């Protein structure tokens, strides 16, 4: 018989919040009168772009890496990432005084590669279209005696990401907003799972919705079918932080019965949201980090008029992509 999956609970999120508190930023929950007027409802924005390393990923990375026994894993940690998990793991490893190796796609944004190296990590590149990043990472971990830190399908990573949900719920209540929904950019589903656990405890009537790029809408399809669906090979998107081929096993076990319907956005809609965030919110947001905002701005989700929240999950954007988004908006 297969043993049941060990899934984090609200107590694990609270434990993670205590553990990461000395190093993580309690990011603000912002509100824009212009955005509210445009959409006809209150929209609260959880600005994880202001988190350490520029994305929510630091939360889960530190909650996980700070627990690693260096005597058991003298080679430190190994991770796979297109950039945000890479930076979170690299910085968490630096703070914990252990080495880190990050397997990154050869086409990862240069700014994400540079900042991963800046935190002291070694970067190993791979071809995302022909090579298996998990196999490469597993070989490195075995060779060096290192612990593999999954980007989303990890108990402590999910609990760490859930601390953003704990903060969001507390801040929304303080702002007098009884949220109907929270929109979260999704790749493997770790952030959505953590936020869903937090909201189920704090605001049980609130629904959490995944937002993904077209061509990588495995979560939206999986939620409909009730099983983990795969994306078709060869798809491409400018939302580089959301290009996972299938929901995680742990994350989907949490999300299957907790998430509302998934929302899908195009590259153009995501870039329009990047430009909106820059011009109107005065925030730098990467395409993947702006996906949830894109879903609202595009009308992909029909708002009822009740307050909603959006997680702006990351701000590590290549300057050329930002310039393209602003040029498209000005055209």
62 in the same domain as 45 = no
Q: Which one, of 49, 41, 54, 50, lies nearest residue 297 by Cα?
A: 41
Q: Which two tokens stand for residue 70?
A: 């260096």
193 in the same domain as 319 = yes
Taking phi over 0 as left and psi of -120 to 50 as alpha, with beta for the rest, 83 belongs to left
> Number of structural domains, the chain?
2
Position 115 in a domain: yes
pLDDT at residue 3 in the model: 64
pLDDT at residue 82 in the model: 78
pLDDT at residue 128 in the model: 82
Per-residue pLDDT tens for 119-141? 999 999 999 888 988 899 999 99
What are 102's strand-pairing partners?
79, 123
Task: Return the residue matching tokens 């600005």.
Answer: 47
> Which residue among the candidates 57, 82, 222, 237 is catalytic per the annotation?
57
C-alpha 66/C-alpha 110 separation (Å) is 27
274 in the same domain as 178 = yes
Torsions phi, psi of 286, nearest 5?
-75, 160
pLDDT at residue 185 in the model: 98
Last residue of a domain, one of 123, 148, 173: 148
pLDDT at residue 2 in the model: 56
pLDDT at residue 172 in the model: 98
Whether residue 313 lies in the annotated active site? yes
Position 4 in a domain: no
> Which residue among the candidates 66, 222, 237, 313 is catalytic per the annotation?
313
pLDDT at residue 289 in the model: 98
Whether residue 306 lies in the annotated active site? no
Last residue of a domain, one of 148, 183, 212: 148
* pTM tops 0.85, yes or no: yes
Last residue of a domain, one of 148, 174, 201: 148
Position 281 in a domain: yes
247 in the same domain as 303 = yes
Q: Which two tokens stand for residue 123?
A: 């970067």
pLDDT at residue 242 in the model: 93
193 in the same domain as 129 = no
Distances (CA, A) of 273 to 120, 192, 306, 319: 32, 20, 21, 16
pLDDT at residue 330 in the model: 85
167 in the same domain as 314 = yes
Q: How many CA atoms lie within 13 A of 119 on its CB side?
A: 30
Per-residue pLDDT tens for 218-271? 999 999 999 999 999 888 999 999 998 899 999 999 999 999 999 999 999 999
User: In a 3-state reduction of DSSP, which class is residue 45?
Assistant: strand
In which domain, by residue range, is 144 found?
Answer: 58-148
46 in the same domain as 108 = no
Task: Return the residue matching tokens 């029909």.
Answer: 302
What string of DSSP letters covers 242-268? Answer: G--SS--HHHHHHHTTTB---EEE-HH
C-alpha 52/C-alpha 32 separation (Å) is 23
List the CATH number of the domain containing 313: 3.40.50.1100
Q: Which one, of 241, 258, 113, lies nearest residue 192 by Cα?
A: 258
C-alpha 89/C-alpha 112 separation (Å) is 12
270 in the same domain as 249 = yes
Residues of the chain with pLDDT under 70: 1-3
C-alpha 288/C-alpha 286 separation (Å) is 6
324 in the same domain as 273 = yes
Contact criterion met (CB below 8 Å) for 303 and 292: no
Position 3 in a domain: no
Q: What angle do CA 155, 157, 160 make, to 5 degrees?
A: 110
267 in the same domain as 162 = yes
């Amino acid at each position: 018989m297969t043993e049941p999956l060990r899934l984090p609970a609200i107590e694990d999120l609270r434990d993670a919040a205590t553990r990461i508190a000395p190093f993580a930023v309690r990011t603000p929950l912002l509100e824009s009168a212009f955005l509210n007027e445009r959409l006809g409802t209150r929209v609260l924005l959880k600005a994880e772009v202001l988190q350490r390393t520029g994305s929510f990923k630091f939360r889960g990375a530190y909650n996980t890496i700070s627990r690693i026994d260096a005597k058991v894993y003298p080679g430190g940690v190994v991770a796979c990432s297109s950039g945000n998990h890479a930076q979170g793991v690299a910085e968490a490893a630096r703070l914990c005084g252990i080495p880190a190796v990050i397997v990154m796609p050869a086409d990862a944004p240069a700014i994400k590669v540079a900042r991963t190296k800046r935190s002291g990590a070694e970067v190993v590149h791979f071809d995302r279209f022909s090579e298996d990043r998990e196999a490469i990472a597993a070989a490195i971990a075995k060779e060096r005696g290192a612990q593999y830190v999954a980007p989303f399908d990890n108990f402590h990573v999910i609990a760490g990401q859930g601390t953003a949900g704990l903060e969001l719920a507390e801040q929304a209540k303080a702002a007098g907003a009884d949220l109907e929904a929270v929109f979260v950019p999704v790749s493997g589903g770790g952030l959505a799972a953590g936020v869903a656990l937090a909201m189920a405890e704090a605001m049980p009537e609130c629904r959490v919705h995944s937002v993904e790029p077209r061509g990588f809408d495995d979560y939206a399809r999986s939620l409909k079918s009730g099983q983990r669906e795969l994306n078709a090979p060869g798809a491409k998107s400018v939302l580089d932080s959301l290009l996972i081929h299938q929901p995680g096993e742990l994350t989907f076990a949490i999300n299957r019965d907790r998430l509302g319907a998934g929302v899908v956005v195009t590259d153009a809609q995501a870039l329009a949201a990047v430009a909106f965030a820059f011009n109107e919110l005065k925030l730098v947001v990467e395409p993947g980090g702006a996906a949830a905002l894109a879903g609202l701005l595009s009308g992909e989700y029909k708002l009822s008029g009740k307050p909603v929240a959006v997680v702006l999950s990351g701000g590590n954007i290549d300057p050329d992509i930002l310039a393209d988004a602003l040029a498209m908006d000005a055209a």
